[in-house]
Amino acid sequence: MTAVSDEPNPYLANPRWVVAELVADAARRRYPADILAIGVHGSLAHGDDSDTSDVDLVVVTYRQGAGPRPVARRIDGVLVDLGVVGADEYLRHARTLSTSWPLAADRYVTTKPIHDPSGWLEQLRDVHLGRLAEARNAEFTALAREAWCRGASAHARATRLAAWYESEVALVMLAEARLAAATVIGLLARTYFRNGADAVRRTGVAGADLTELGVILRDQATDLADRGRPVDGTVSDLFDR
């Protein structure tokens, strides 16, 4: 990824790029002293967007709290999700590993610049990749255990709701449990995904029913125990790292 000048964007034949450019230009005009970089992530950055795709924009400001406010709105028939983050905070996020890493990493690694004269988005990518390079397997395994606990909790609630014939709400909890199980797989394999839908699809849990997902979670618990991070423990284990 390289710094981008103000030359015409070759993607302007794409209506989503047109909207992205319009929003970026308007932001720069209104907040000329605040904006360090503007980029897109998601399907537009990957180049496989469709007529139903959103435009996911990120505005990086020199100072936290400066620039436009985060907002989501439909513009010319295109849904726009405008995120705003201070440069220091964004770099801190890029250096932080959490249970959401499999769903967050793509925006650090694959953000296509619209306005980035200093190549800052490339720095963001390199900071994140550097953090991954130094991370130990034990860090990812510990995070996977946390994700597993969330998945097990959602699965238990889904099972209880299904027994009470609360089918619609049970489906919501089942979807949450599937995503958590997919996140566990991503953390253990150090694999990140484009989004939640991509995660459950690529890990094969998208179609898992309550029984099948229960088996997946049990297998994951065994795997975590084998890796030295059992899901069961004592009270004191809650405070040990």
* Domain shared by 130 and 42, yes or no: yes
| Tokens representing residue 46 in the block | 């990957």
Residues 159 and 118 in one domain: no
How is residue 42 written in tokens?
Answer: 């998601």
Q: What is the pLDDT of residues 1-28, one digit of tens each?
A: 444 445 555 556 899 999 999 999 999 9
Q: Is the domain of 150 the same as that of 106?
A: no
* Same structural domain, 39 and 51: yes
116 and 175 housed in the same domain: no
Can you tell me the mean pLDDT for 210-227? 98
What pLDDT score was predicted for residue 240? 78
**Token pair of 164 as six digits:** 């009470």
Number of neighbours of residue 74 by Cβ within 10 angstroms: 10
Give the structural domain span for 81.
Answer: 15-134
Neighbours of 129 (CB within 10 A): 13
Number of domains in the chain: 2
* Strand 112-115 to 78-86 pairing: unpaired
Task: Look at residue 107 and tell me whether its pLDDT is greater than 50.
Answer: yes
Mean per-residue pLDDT, 127-153: 97
CA gap 100, 84 in Å, rounded: 19
Same domain, 21 and 129: yes
- Length of the chain equals 241
The residue among 183, 214, 170 whose CA lies nearest residue 101 is: 183
Tell me the pLDDT band of 241, cut-offs 50, 70 and 90.
low
In a domain, 2, yes or no: no
117 and 57 in a single domain? The answer is: yes
Average pLDDT over residues 134-161: 97
Q: Is residue 74 part of a domain?
A: yes
Q: Is residue 66 part of a domain?
A: yes
Same domain, 40 and 108: yes
Q: How many percent of the chain have pLDDT more than 90? A: 92
Please say which residue of 110, 134, 158 terminates a domain.
Answer: 134
- Specify the CATH number for the domain of residue 63: 3.30.460.10
Mean pLDDT of 141-145: 98
Q: Is 43 found in the same domain as 106?
A: yes
Q: Decide which of 134, 166, 196 is a domain's last residue.
A: 134
Residue 102 resides in a domain: yes
Least confident of 1-10, 166-175, 177-186, 210-219: 1-10
pLDDT at residue 238, as a whole number: 85
Q: What is the pLDDT of residue 130?
A: 98
Domain shared by 21 and 123, yes or no: yes
For residue range 219-237, list pLDDT tens digits in order.
Answer: 999 999 999 999 999 999 8
Spatial distance between the Cα atoms of 190 and 143, rounded to a whole number of angstroms: 11
Region 115-143 average pLDDT: 97
Q: Which of 99, 134, 169 is the last residue of a domain?
A: 134
Give the whole-angstrom CA distance, residue 209 versus residue 159. 10
Res 237: pLDDT? 87
What pLDDT sits at residue 77? 94
Residue 73 has pLDDT above 50, yes or no: yes
Give the range among 9-23, 72-86, 146-160, 191-205 with minimum mean pLDDT.
9-23
In a domain, 114, yes or no: yes
Output the pLDDT for position 12.
61
Amino acid identity, residue 105? A
Decide if 235 is inside a domain.
Answer: no
Q: Are residues 24 and 122 in the same domain?
A: yes
- Please check the confidence at residue 194 and state whether its pLDDT lies above 90: yes
